[in-house]
Amino acid sequence: MSPAKLLQVAKARGVDCVAVTDHDTIEGALEALALSDADRSLPRVIPGIELTTAVGEIIGLYVRETIPFGLPLDEAVERIREQGGLVYLPHPYDLFRRGTICRTERTRAAQLADIIEVINGRSLGPRAGIKAARLARRLGKPAGAGSDAHRKAEVGVSWVVVDAFPSRETLVSLVASGRLCNGLSPRGYTLNWGMQGLAPVTRMRRRVVGELTRR
């Protein structure tokens, strides 16, 4: 599914804003952002990147330049911050996912994050999400949600209801005060952030789409 198709599907389903991230590249997010900027009837776009660090995956939001993969955690976070970005920690307790942050660095990564994901659409069972929610509460971090939606049918199934269109300055507070609406994809998983699958010969990429709807 192309960025153009993604935005059209999101619009049709009442999504007001999406955060688009690919694995270790910013190209898809920038393409979606350009389309949204050119047509204000489309959902607004938060550009981002799902970055593979030396100890697992983190997400940078509001970044415009690709960051090298494989960096130490602290350096990867610093690169996101240098671009004025926010750090989102995805699926911190999902033991069945190759990219999950390693156990010994989990607390450190959560401390560095602005938002901690507590719902992920491809997690098997609720245990990982419950643990992530406890971690977020203990650290006083806003709870986020995410899906592994790889196809059109999974876009916009669940979302965060917020009071206004987010900016880099307001996203964290809006998510903190927002309402998570968790639906079920055709695969039977809870969703909030849609994900597309891109599979080049060299490596797998995934596009994450955060979905926000205004109250």
Q: What does the pLDDT read at residue 213?
A: 65
Q: What is the pLDDT along the chain (215 residues), one digit of tens a residue?
A: 789 988 998 899 888 888 888 899 999 999 999 999 999 999 999 999 999 999 999 999 999 999 999 999 999 999 999 999 999 999 999 888 889 999 999 999 999 999 998 877 667 778 888 999 999 999 999 998 766 666 787 777 667 778 899 999 999 999 999 887 776 544 433 333 443 333 323 233 434 445 666 66
Could you give the 3-state DSSP secondary structure of residue 143?
A: strand
Q: Measure the CA–CA gap between 35 and 45, rounded to whole angstroms.
A: 9
Distance in angstroms (rounded) separating the CA atoms of residues 53 and 95:
17
Is residue 187 within 8 Å of residue 148, measured between CB atoms? Answer: no
Give me the residue spans of the domains in the chain.
3-214
> How far, in whole angstroms, is CA 8 from its chain's centroid?
19
The model's pLDDT over 100-156, given as tens digits with 9 standing for 90+, comes to 999 999 999 999 999 998 877 667 778 888 999 999 999 999 998 766 666 787 777
Per the document, the length of the chain is 215
Assigned token pair, 189: 């998983």
CATH superfamily of 3-214: Metal-dependent hydrolases (3.20.20.140)
pTM of this structure: 0.85
